[in-house]
Homo-oligomer: A and B are copies of this chain.
Amino acid sequence: MDNIPQKQDLLAAAERLSPYIHNTPILTSRMVNELAGCRLFFKCENFQKTGAFKFRGALNTVLSLNDDEAQNGVATHSSGNHAQALAYAAQIRGVRAYVVMPENASPVKVEATRSYGAEIFFCEPTLEAREKGHKKVIDETGAYSVHPYDDCRIIAGQGTACMELLRDNPKLDYILTPVGGGGLLSGTALAANYFGRDIRVIGCEPQVVDDASRSFHSGKWQPAPNIPTVADGLKTSLGKRNFAIIKDHVYDILTVSEEEIIAAMQLLWQYMKILIEPSSAVPLAVLLKNKEMFSDDNVAIIISGGNVNLQNLPW
């Protein structure tokens, strides 16, 4: 696919975003390094505005729209972090945001999305109902549809987290990110390719929804099975454009069990004192499962987000 973000697109995204985003801290822990047998650098996008990296891509897209595209607002369907990210991005641009959410979405996320001024439409919790609701909203409002991952502006925006990471840690051997739709993984892989030197980027995925791994290893796009995972942010199938980038620029995609994800999540809470959502624990789970692969290396992990329901923790 020709249409992938170029080096200058990522540089432009970084400049466009810089007044609005946190250059999130990179945390380290001697104790986690000892457990892992390597030097770990955690890029903490859980501290990003709206609580997840998704704000980077959403804001880059919304700020890239011309006035005609933006005038009737923006719309998406999402039960998660993209909803909050787009809502806040629209607030910054000063346009309306319309978000279709499944009626069983977490009340915390609904409230957060509303708090950024978005108008919310509820639908049945199926992909079909979400897409239908989304189309209806766009037809009625004329809003611009912002895809959560399969979009060059989104991918370039997500890549800026890796650009910040490389500025502070140019000598990385590996970068690990979670993979769901592939926005973060493809953006990271491009950034590592454009701005890094010999860095292996690895996608990390729950075993039960291993479509990215199967797609990557077979070379042929495959849809995600509709199976629940504690890392619910990663249930999505890989985007087509994201897959094209991942095929070319990602070193491997590795999977872990639900138990391994929960154990890694608890370990990060306990040792690092940071709130991370289950999806963000998947890369550390992968690393702990494959220690020999990373022995004595410099390994960065992008902590994707921290939006968890404190009333319903997985332990």
Instruction: Give the B-binding residues of A (Cβ under 8 A).
Output: 25, 27, 30, 46-47, 49, 51, 108, 266, 269-270, 272-276, 306, 310-311, 313, 315
**B273 engages A269 (CB within 8 Å):** no
Whole-angstrom distance from the CB of A88 to the nearest CB of chain B? 10
Contacts of A51 in B (CB 8 A): 273
Residues of chain B lying within 8 A (CB to CB) of residue A270: 108, 310
A306 to B47, CA, bound (A): 16
Q: Which of B27, B47, B274 contacts A275 (CB 8 A)?
A: B274
List the 10 closest pairs (A to B, CB-CB), nearest first. A273-B306, A273-B275, A46-B273, A25-B25, A269-B275, A47-B273, A269-B310, A274-B274, A51-B273, A275-B275
Contacts of A46 in B (CB 8 A): 273
A131 CB to closest chain B CB (Å) equals 31
Q: How many of these chains are in the complex?
A: 2
- Smallest CB–CB gap between A30 and chain B, Å? 7
Shortest Cβ distance from A270 into B: residue: B310
With both chains docked as a complex, state the minimum distance between the C-beta of A269 and any C-beta of chain B, in angstroms: 6
**Chain B residue, CB-CB nearest to A27:** B47
CB-CB under 8 A from A313, the residues of chain B are: 310, 313
- Which of B49, B108, B272, B306 is A30 in contact with, Cβ under 8 Å? B49
Residues of B within 8 A of A275 (CB): 269, 273-275
Looking across the interface, which residue of chain B has its beta carbon closest to that of A305?
B273
When C-beta atoms are compared, the residue in chain B nearest to A311 turns out to be B315
Least Cβ distance of A313 to chain B in Å?
Answer: 8
Known: A273-B275, A275-B275. A310 touches B315 (CB 8 A): yes
> Which of A30, A47, A269 has most chain B Cβ within 10 Å?
A47
Are the C-beta atoms of B310 and A266 separated by less than 8 Å?
Answer: yes
Cα–Cα, bound, A273→B306 (Å): 6
Contacts of A27 in B (CB 8 A): 25, 47
CB distance from A24 to the nearest CB of B (A): 10
Nearest chain B residue, comparing its CB with the CB of A31: B115
Give the one of A266, A273, A276 with max B CB within 10 A. Answer: A273
* Alpha-carbon distance A203/B167, docked complex (angstroms): 39
Least Cβ–Cβ distance between A245 and chain B, in angstroms: 29
Instruction: Give complex CA distance A311, B274 in Å.
Output: 16
- In the complex the two chains form, what is the Cα distance from A51 to B274 in whole Å? 11
A25 to chain B, nearest CB (A): 5
Select which of B30, B108, B266, B274 is within 8 A of A273 by beta carbon.
B274
Interface centre among A46, A275, A276, A310 (most CB of B within 10 A): A275
Collect the chain B residues with CB atoms within 8 Å of residue A276's CB: 273
Report B-chain residues with C-beta under 8 Å of the C-beta of A306: 273
